[in-house]
C-alpha cells in the first residue's frame, strides 16, 4: 500500500507517538502506548493510554489523540501512528478505537510501530469493514 503521506510525515508521526508513549499511565498492564494523529490541517495531535483501577474506564492512546484533535477544532484526519513496545510485531488499534477513528476518517492510514521491526501501514477501511454508521442508505 502506498500512503498519501511523505516519508517525512510518517517519521514525524512516529516520533510524536514515541514521545507521547513516554507519558502513558499503565500501572496495571504495563502496556504503554503512544499515538499521534495527523489532521487535515497538517497539525499533529498526540495521546497516550490512561489506565484506571476500574478497567472499563481505561482509555486508549488513539482515542486520547482523537479527543485532543477535536478539542483543538480538528475533525479531519489523514493518518495515525501508534507505538507500543511489544515483541510479537506492531499491534493494531482495538475495535473501540477503530470505530471512533471511522467516525471521522474511514479511509485513514494507520502506522503501527514496535521495536525490532519496520512500521506496518494499514488502512482503517481494511481493519473495520462494514463499520457501524448512521449514514445508512434505505
For the stretch 121-136, pLDDT in tens is 999 999 998 787 777 5
- Going by the DSSP 8-state scheme, the letter that residue 4 receives in this structure is S
Helices marked H in 22-94 — which ranges?
61-71
Q: How far apart are the first and last CA of the chain?
A: 33
For the stretch 14-39, pLDDT in tens is 999 999 999 999 999 999 999 999 99
Q: In sequence order, which residues have a C-beta less than 8 Å from that of residue 47 and are 6 or more positions away?
A: 20, 34, 35, 36, 37, 61, 62, 63, 64, 65, 66, 67, 68
Residue 136, pLDDT score:
53
Q: In sequence order, which residues have a C-beta less than 8 Å from that of residue 57 and are 6 or more positions away?
A: none
Residue 8, pLDDT score:
95
Confidence of residue 115 (pLDDT cuts 50, 70, 90): confident
Task: Spell out the domains of the chain, with CATH numbers in brackets.
Answer: 7-127 (3.40.140.10)
Model pTM score: 0.91
Catalytic residue among 19, 32, 51, 62: 62
Based on the residue annotation, tell me whether 62 is a catalytic residue of this protein. Answer: yes
Amino acid at each position: 500500500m502506498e500512503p498519501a503521506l511523505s516519508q517525512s510525515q510518517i517519521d514525524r508521526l512516529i516520533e510524536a507517538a514515541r514521545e507521547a508513549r513516554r507519558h502513558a499511565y499503565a500501572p496495571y498492564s504495563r502496556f504503554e502506548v503512544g499515538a499521534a494523529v495527523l489532521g487535515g490541517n497538517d497539525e499533529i495531535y498526540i495521546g497516550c493510554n490512561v489506565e484506571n483501577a476500574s478497567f472499563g474506564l481505561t482509555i486508549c492512546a488513539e482515542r486520547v489523540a482523537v479527543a485532543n484533535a477535536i478539542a483543538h477544532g480538528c475533525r479531519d484526519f489523514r493518518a495515525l501512528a501508534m507505538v507500543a513496545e511489544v515483541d510479537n510485531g506492531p499491534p493494531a488499534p482495538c475495535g473501540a478505537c477503530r470505530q471512533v477513528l471511522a467516525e471521522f476518517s474511514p479511509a485513514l492510514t494507520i502506522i503501527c510501530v514496535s521495536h525490532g521491526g519496520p512500521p506496518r501501514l494499514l488502512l482503517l477501511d481494511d481493519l473495520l469493514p462494514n463499520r457501524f454508521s448512521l449514514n445508512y442508505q434505505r
